[in-house]
Every structure is written in structure tokens, then in C-alpha cells.
Amino acid sequence: MTIAFSKKLSRRNFLLASSCAIGAGSVAMMGSRYRALAASKHVFELDDLANRDVFTSCGMCVNKCGVIARVRNGVIEKLDPNPHFLKSRGMLCARGNAGLDTVYSPDRIKYPMIRTGERGDGKFRQASWEEALDLVAKNLQDLAEKYTRAGTVFVSTEGYQEHFFTTFAECYGSPNTLRHPSLCLASNIQGFGATYGTNPTPDVLNADYLIMSGANRSEALITPDSIDMLTGEGGKRKVVYLDPRFTKTAAKATEWFPIRAGSDMAFILAMTNVIVTEGLYAKQFVADMTIGFDELKTHIEQYTPEWAEAECDIPAADIRRIAREFAAAAPRAVYYQGRRSSFFDNDTQMRRAMAILNGVIGNWDQPGGMVPNSSIVLERHDYLAPWYDGVPPRLDSGSASYLSEKDGSWKYFRDRVIEGKPYPVKGMMIYKQNPLVSVANRQKTLEMMEQMEFICTIDITMNDTAYYSDVILPEATYLERLDPIESLGGILPVVTTREPCIKPMYESKPNLWIIQQLSKRLDDEIYASFDFTMEEYRHHQLRNRPDITKALKEKGVFYEKTTPTYGDTYGKRLKTKSGKIEIYSEKYAQKGLDPLPVYSRPADIPEGRYRLILGRNAYLTHGTTANNAYLHDLMPENSLWLNAGEARKRGLRNGQVVKVTSSLASEQLKLFVTEKIRPDCVFMSHGFGVITSGQRLLQGKSGSDAALIEDNVEPISGNIAMHQTFVEIHPA
């Protein structure tokens, strides 16, 4: 299959805006923050002063909730939830509402910039697009000649226009794309994938019994789970929550257990022990749909609730009771797998244990159980990546047992860049990812960046990574762009759209335009893969689907069903090698990995130190939104949570500034003395303690977790293991 439309349509300037000054009349309509912007004489275009309500989708986190943007006099005045948007249950969270500030923040990157001082000095000059793009293209060519095309790494994270960036990497000829999953779901996907052949979605809405370990759904919002968790039928729903911290999910849970960090697998194995030894498992289901149950039966004998009590600090009687309740509620019972990075280096096996526990109670593809995702298929664009001779394989090849060829592993990749082995990587193209904030061991990321000969960042704000770049290209925000149509899989899949509410402000451009401009400068053969407008791209995606086109226009969302279908996979082969649920993994055995999850106790916390743990809150998305004015109002800084008893013992006071020291760095932040955390752990929020001076609200405030956390790794998936760092605390 080839691209359906003619190349004659090429070289049209897509959303290419010429600037004109904003009229005084419309200025009067805006809020004070916006007025200040206009007064600063930054020129931007507003050619459409009509009042419009635009269906679009949120870009503040990964959920992509439905939004209606209320545009008045050419200004986005308010973002409202789209009531038709099934997946988000018609809601919009604090971040979604605050999305306005993404567009109107004074800290946006307004025009292309070229570094003039030393890296990290923050000295840049404004450049024309022409000059900046020429410079990037020249560097990409020079790097290819000096170091082969693998000498440049393409770093990016998810978003509706990320596809063009990774495609560009492929067409340029670099095997080295480095994405976010090794800081995120890689181990989860691996553990469930090895068991089920897919990573299913828990049917939270219909579950009667939910166990969440470290999945803080009331703060780490995931639609629709966060909402559905609180929508139990007549109080029938029970939520058991395990977390070293008393979070807002703990406040909502039926029972909370402050589990010892890193012992979740012991809890899961002990539950499995009870369910198997007491014969509470789904016998027919296990016989029909799984392989390796006999091996499990023997393997699980050692993991008694009494054994687990000592590991988890959860009474054996409770573990036994919860296991029995869980089995009794089956199949409407779910051990919820969460959605986060690895915390420990056994995370894939811990996920395997979760998958197996769900498997033996037979909740697979049942109401209230683990349901495989379905999705609505859109027409794909094909592209032809040119072939280049002499390009070596990925830099991190052969590192993790199951390395994703597309995503890579941040930990292994960065180490090898610093070592310069097996080959040098001297160029870095970055889209939307902010590794200086998101990757553990910030000092190492700086080392990696310092040895680069060229770094280009495409982003919307002057974050730490942009600050350390040589060229910065301003992208239009999610409220200013036309994006590809996006199909979101799930129990109830939807198709979403993202439409421009206003034209891109300042000189910002959509990523596709930036990629097209770079491609043109590199090679006609590369450009051929991007020779279309976004309108044409979308049109092609929706070819033969007038129903989707119509629904997106009328409701801003398309879906085929509003109630789940279950059981479609029964009687069919699953996508595992055996076609069944693999309790015992032959695949793992052949690779020399434990074919059944084997518990290993995390290292003891040394005397006088604490385990540093991480987590989310509902106001911030990773490192991307702390500088948002509305969200900053909710959370102006982070603090270090310390158990009240420990604080008393140490003579530390609430609110005092402390120095937190790990093996890597020291950071200073205020102490939050609370009963809400285990005495052996401390906690801090992510996204603060930035280096850049380009994020005004964050400058000089509180501490960075990325600076403190050691870059331990989960070796099966290559995921960073985030909870293996110990810190000392002293008064600052």
C-alpha cells in the first residue's frame, strides 16, 4: 500500500501564519495574565475573531480526555469537559482545566533559538526558522558522516504528533529512538504480555473487589479507572489498597495496608498460595485456559501468608482473609496492575505474579475482570524509509532481556553513550521529552548531554532539557494544532480528534511542519515520507469511515459501543506461544529467567537512612505542568514527607528546610511531618528543583527527585527501578 494521494499537493504551507498585531478591542476581553502578555509586545496572529466552541482532546497528560474549547474573540476563554466523551466520563480534571496556561504562559518558547553561551548558561539568541532549520539539518548531515546515522539518538515521548518524529528518525536512518516506556510501563507490559500475550485492562466499573498495590488512582488519575473506582454499585465494591503512604486513594479505600516497600510480590504470592492450596481457584478455567498450573502448585507452597507477614508487615490473617474474599468475588475481582514505572529490580516478575493471580481466579475477559483491549482501526499511512549501509544496530542492543526495539532502555542507553561503547552517539534530537527531569540520576543525563556535539529540542517551554540544548524549536501547543486522528484502545475504545482552537501563537509550528522542513533540507527521499498536509493525512486515516468523520464533527468523539463485550477470546488462541495463559513461562525458562515468579527481598534500609519513594498527585503530570500558573497555585513546591514519630525522634520540625542526601546528590526542601507515611520511608513529589531559569514559577524552589534517585534497573524490561535509593536527612 502507498500513500493514497498525489504528490502534486506537496509544499503547501500548512498553517503557515504571517504575523499581525492584535487589536486593542480583543485585548480588553482577556484576563489580566493575557493582557500582560499582549503588553509585552509579543506579536501573534488572531485572524479568527469569531466565537467558536471547538471539540478537541486534552494534552495535559496521557489520558486524552474530551474537551470543548470555548473560543471568544479569538481567545480560548475556557476548556470544558466534552459530555459525550465516554472514556473520560464527561469530566475534566484540574490539569485539563489549567491547559489554558499552556498556551498563554509567558514561559513558552516563542521563536527558534540558538545557543550563544556555554551549555547550561541559558544564553540564547532569537533565530529565524530558516537559520535554525538549516543549522539542525547541517548538523544531522555532519553527524551522519562522522559517526554513521546511528550517531544521533532521537528522544521522544507520547503525543499525537510523536509518530512523525519517530518516523523521521527511521527515515533519517538512526536505529536509536529512545522513548519513555523504560521510565514507565515497560515492565508492566512485559509481565502481563508474557502471561496473556497482551496487557489487558481491568474492568474497574464492574468489579466488586479491587486490590490496588501502589496504584494511587485518586491522585494518579487514569480515565476511566479513577472515576469508576468510586462508582461501586450500592456499596458492594471493596477496595483494598497497599501503599507505604496514606494517599487520597487510601482515604477512599475500604482497607489500607502500609505495606513494606518492595514486598508487593510476597503479598501476591501468599494470596495465590491461599487460593491454590485451599482450592479456591477457577478449576475449569485453569484447566481449559492456562498452562503450568501444576508447576505453580509446587512453586507456591513456600509462600505462605505467615512467611509473607514478615516480608510485608501485613498480618497473615489479613492476607488469608483477603485471598478468600478475592476468590469469592471472582470473576468480578481484579488485582489492579497499575500504570507506572518499576519501583524495584524484580518488577517484571512482580507483574507476572499479578497476572498469574488474576489468571487463577478466572477473571480473564469477564465482567469485572481483566479484559483484553479492543480498538477501532484507522487507515494507516505507509512510508518508505530509505536504506543506508553500514548503520550498526541499536546502541543498547543485547542489554535488557526483552528490549523494545522502538523504545529502548534509558538506563542502558545512557550508560553506553557515556562509555562511548560500542560506538559513539554524539547527536541528540529531542521531542517533547524532558530527560533531565524524568530520568533518575540527573548528573548522568547531564554527562550524556555534555558529551554530545549537537542537541536540538522541539518543545513548548524552556524546561531543563531545552535549556541544555544548542537549538530550540518552538512547537505549537495541543490547543493550536490540527493533529492526526487518534484511536484509543480499551474496554470501550474511542476515536478522538484534536482541532486547532486558535492559530499557533508567536512563531510556533506544529511538529509535522518542523519535520517536513528538516526532511526537505536533508533529502528528497526522506521528505517523500512527509509529503502531505495534516488535512490529507486525517482524510486518509478516515477513508471509508464517513461515520467517524460525522461523529467527530457532531460530538467530538466516536465509539461503536457503550457497553463492553466480554468473552470474545474464549475458544480462541491467545497471543502467547502456547495460545493459553502462561502461568509457567517456557519462554522465560529458555532465556534463563525464572519461569515462575521468585520472590527476592529488597535490600535492607541502612541504619539512620530512609527509603526514598515516589508517587503522583492530581495536580501535576510528571515534570511537565509544575510551572503552570493555575497548578502552581495548588502546589507551589514539593516537600519531604517524614513520619511524625521519626521526626520527633530526630528532633525535626514540620516546615523546616532539610538537606536530603543520597549516594548521588543533596537537595534541600521543606519537611512535611505526617502520620501518613511508614517510618522507614520518605516521599517527595516529582517535577520540582529544576535547573532552568526559563520556568519562572519554579526557579530556586524545593528539590529534584531526579537528582537523588539512583539509576537502578529492572533487567528483563530495561525499566528504571525507582525505589532502591536510600537517603539521609539533616537540618539544612
Partner 1 sequence: MKTKRFAMVLDSSKCIDCKACTVACKIENKVPMGQDNYRNWVAEGPLRGKFPDLGQSFQPGQCMQCANTPCDHVCPTGATRVNRDGIVLVDDHKCIGCKYCITACPYNARYYNEVTGAVDKCTFCVQRIYRGRQPACVETCPTKVRVFGDLNDRNSEVSRLLVKHAYKVEKPEMGTDPFLFYII
Task: List interacting residues with partner 1 (CB under 8 A).
Answer: 31-33, 77-81, 83, 89, 91-94, 96-98, 100, 218-219, 221, 226-227, 230-231, 246, 248-252, 256-258, 618-619, 629-631, 633-634, 643-645, 674-679
Shortest distance (Å) from residue 218 CB to partner 1: 4
Shortest distance (Å) from residue 643 CB to partner 1: 7
With cell 469485572, the residue in question is 368
Residue 720's nearest CA partner among 75, 185, 132 is: 185
Give whichever of 247 and 404 is closer to partner 1, judged by the CB atom.
Answer: 247
Give whichever of 232 and 424 is closer to partner 1, judged by the CB atom.
Answer: 232
Within 542-606, residue ranges assigned H as helices are 546-555, 586-590
What CA–CA distance (Å, rounded) separates 141 from 656? 53
Shortest distance (Å) from residue 520 CB to partner 1: 40
- Radius of gyration of the chain from its Cα atoms, rounded to whole angstroms: 26
At residue 174, what is the residue type?
A: S
Name the DSSP letter for residue 673.
E
Shortest distance (Å) from residue 641 CB to partner 1: 12
What CA–CA distance (Å, rounded) separates 371 from 570? 12
Shortest distance (Å) from residue 256 CB to partner 1: 7
Helical axes 264-277 vs 347-360, angle rounded to 10°: 30
Give whichever of 183 and 698 is closer to partner 1, judged by the CB atom.
Answer: 698
Shortest distance (Å) from residue 205 CB to partner 1: 13
Give whichever of 32 and 40 is closer to partner 1, judged by the CB atom.
Answer: 32
What CA–CA distance (Å, rounded) separates 167 from 344? 33
Shortest distance (Å) from residue 619 CB to partner 1: 6
User: Residue 568: how many CA atoms within 13 Å on its side-chain side?
Assistant: 9
Give whichever of 78 and 283 is closer to partner 1, judged by the CB atom.
Answer: 78
The distance between the two most distant Cα atoms of the chain, rounded to a whole number of Å, is 78
User: Residue 304: how many CA atoms within 13 Å on its side-chain side?
Assistant: 4
Give whichever of 241 and 468 is closer to partner 1, judged by the CB atom.
Answer: 241
Give whichever of 20 and 230 is closer to partner 1, judged by the CB atom.
Answer: 230
Give whichever of 611 and 676 is closer to partner 1, judged by the CB atom.
Answer: 676
Measured over the CA atoms of residue 674, residue 677, residue 679 and residue 685, the dihedral's sign is: negative
What CA–CA distance (Å, rounded) separates 460 from 432? 8
Cβ pair 166, 154 in contact under 8 A: yes
With cell 535549556, the residue in question is 467
3-state secondary structure of 569: coil
Which H/E stretch holds residue 541?
helix 534-541
Shortest distance (Å) from residue 128 CB to partner 1: 34
Task: Provide the pairing of β-strand 712-714 with 719-721.
Answer: antiparallel
Task: Provide the pairing of β-strand 209-213 with 333-336.
Answer: parallel
Shortest distance (Å) from residue 305 CB to partner 1: 18
Cβ pair 707, 443 in contact under 8 A: yes
Measured over the CA atoms of residue 707, residue 713, residue 717 and residue 718, the dihedral's sign is: positive
Give whichever of 321 and 520 is closer to partner 1, judged by the CB atom.
Answer: 321
Give whichever of 57 and 249 is closer to partner 1, judged by the CB atom.
Answer: 249
Give whichever of 179 and 616 is closer to partner 1, judged by the CB atom.
Answer: 616
Shortest distance (Å) from residue 219 CB to partner 1: 7
Name the DSSP letter for residue 247.
-
Shortest distance (Å) from residue 267 CB to partner 1: 15
Task: Provide the pairing of β-strand 238-242 with 255-257.
Answer: parallel
Cis peptide before 422 (omega within 30 of 0): yes
3-state secondary structure of 602: coil
> What is the signed CA dihedral for 700, 703, 708, 711, rounded to 10 degrees?
-90
Give whichever of 134 and 219 is closer to partner 1, judged by the CB atom.
Answer: 219
Shortest distance (Å) from residue 677 CB to partner 1: 8
Q: Which three cell numbers stand for residue 385?
A: 524509509
What CA–CA distance (Å, rounded) separates 680 from 677? 8
Give whichever of 406 and 650 is closer to partner 1, judged by the CB atom.
Answer: 650
Give whichever of 67 and 371 is closer to partner 1, judged by the CB atom.
Answer: 67
With cell 495548588, the residue in question is 634
Give whichever of 97 and 576 is closer to partner 1, judged by the CB atom.
Answer: 97
What are the angstrom distances between the C-alpha of 558 and each of 57, 102, 329, 545? Answer: 12, 26, 34, 11
What are the angstrom distances between the C-alpha of 514 and each of 69, 164, 266, 462, 507? Answer: 25, 10, 49, 18, 12
With cell 498450573, the residue in question is 293
Shortest distance (Å) from residue 89 CB to partner 1: 7
Shortest distance (Å) from residue 96 CB to partner 1: 7
Shortest distance (Å) from residue 94 CB to partner 1: 4
What CA–CA distance (Å, rounded) separates 244 from 214? 8
What CA–CA distance (Å, rounded) separates 272 from 293? 11
3-state secondary structure 9-57: HCCCCCCCCCCCCCCHHHHCCCCHHHHHHHHCCCCCCCCCCCCEEEEEE
Give whichever of 569 and 625 is closer to partner 1, judged by the CB atom.
Answer: 625
What CA–CA distance (Å, rounded) separates 346 from 265? 9
3-state secondary structure 656-709: CEEEEECCCCEEEEEEEEECCECCCEEECCCCCCCCCCCCCCCCCCCCCHHHHC
Give whichever of 92 and 113 is closer to partner 1, judged by the CB atom.
Answer: 92
Shortest distance (Å) from residue 28 CB to partner 1: 13
Q: Which three cell numbers stand for residue 203?
A: 474492568
Shortest distance (Å) from residue 92 CB to partner 1: 5
Cβ pair 199, 190 in contact under 8 A: no
